[in-house]
Amino acid sequence: MRWLAMLPRQRCVCVECGAGEAEVSYFMAEHFNLAIATDACPPKSAYPVAVDGPIGYVKCRAENLPLPSDSVDMVVSMQALHHFDLAGHLTEARRVLSPGGIFAALAWGEMVLPVDVRTACDDFLAAVKPFWEAERGWVVSGYNGLKFEGEALALPKAAMRKTVTVEALVVLFRGWSAYKAGQRDCAEVLAATRLRLRQLGHAQITVAWPIVGQVFRKLP
């Protein structure tokens, strides 16, 4: 994220689209004069922000940003691009970006587990696979094939890592949208997976989520 923050030639205004809780905006506020989080349906916990807070929050669609043309140094989204009207968002991002500005569409890649843990989870992962949203493959690929008029920049390898217990990992699985959609077919498989994980005897398990995505610089 620091690498991303340093890319624009100027760091006056950063706009996060589909911001949700605005975690990216709060980070970028440390590097930009102004960080603006935007979302068509902001969560009650995040919007509106405090008047004296480090960011602004605007309720709007990613395809219709209430900002002047050539006025923004970065447009960024995290795990959100697939929810937008793609053509409309790309056109709007190019409009508001200043020359040299950065467009970044980021996402979380496929979860990475230790080999023995992954093997213990194979049956569950196979059971939930049919219930994932159709666009999930594109998301975990880092929006492979995304086109944006400008210079493509290589995203460095990075990942978020977290150490969890077996029970916390099972809770994480239960929170997946695919599990919720297919709970009737997957509940027994998850129970069996939980037993296998407990039999491994790990007090803690390291889980990693690679940061993937596409980054471009708008050319003059």
Angle (deg, nearest 10), helices 183-200 and 166-175:
160
Encoding tokens for residue 125?
């992962």
pLDDT band at 43 (very low <50, low <70, confident <90, very high): very high
pLDDT, residue 121, reads 98
pLDDT, residue 103, reads 98
d(CA 147, CA 152): 9
Architecture of the CATH domain 1-108: 3-Layer(aba) Sandwich (3.40)
Q: Specify the DSSP class assigned to residue 86.
A: H
**CA within 13 Å, CB half, 90:** 13
pTM of the model: 0.92
Strand partners, 163: 206
The model's pLDDT over 110-167, given as tens digits with 9 standing for 90+, comes to 999 999 999 999 999 999 999 999 999 999 999 999 999 999 999 999 999 999 999 9
The model's pLDDT over 63-120, given as tens digits with 9 standing for 90+, comes to 999 999 999 999 999 999 999 999 999 999 999 999 999 999 999 999 999 999 999 9
